[in-house]
Structure 1
């Protein structure tokens, strides 16, 4: 696998991991016991910490990419395993 392909696939894993990680650890103002700003949505997060989210996403994406890369070279799961043959 070329290194440019590996970087592109890692970026895809990172973008997918954002949607996996984003809902965890979010607390609303009501759950945190803080006052809401007038006009604020009930579901708005109390604190938005993008660097913490980015760090979590990077960890998840790196683990998933490492599993993908190990499978790529070891061949644990191959496309042939999913092919249906006529019996």
Structure 2
């Protein structure tokens, strides 16, 4: 596989992991009972912890991309599936 293809696969997998990780641990102003800043959405998270979620999504994307590339380049698995 070429480097551009690997980067594209990683980007798609990273985006899916990021969207899956976003709601984990999110607590809204309404749920916590904290005061809402005027103009803010009541459903917005109090502490989104984006840095942590970016790192988790990156780690998951590295793992799943490596797993996907291993499966696609493993001749034994591909021979089994192409029977």
For Structure 1 versus Structure 2, the TM-score category normalised by the shorter chain is 0.7 to 0.9
- Equivalent-residue separation in structure 1 for 2:65 and 2:51 (angstroms): 21
Distance change (3 Å), C-alpha of 1:64 and 1:48 = same
User: What is the TM-score with the length of structure 1 in the denominator?
Assistant: 0.74
CA deviations on 1:19-51 (whole Å, 9 max, x unpaired) are 111111111123334211233222111012221
- Equivalent-residue separation in structure 2 for 1:77 and 1:19 (angstroms): 30
- Unaligned residue ranges in structure 2 (runs of 5+): none
Measured on the aligned residues, the alpha-carbon RMSD in Å equals 2.2
Identify the residue that residue 50 of structure 1 maps to in structure 2.
50
Distance change (3 Å), C-alpha of 1:41 and 1:67 = same
Identify the residue that residue 3 of structure 2 maps to in structure 1.
3
Q: Which has the higher helix share?
A: 2
- Unaligned residue ranges in structure 1 (runs of 5+): 82-87
The alignment covers a number of residue pairs equal to: 81
Pairs within 5 Å for 1:1-80: 1-75=1-75, 76=77, 80=82
User: What is the TM-score with the length of structure 2 in the denominator?
Assistant: 0.77
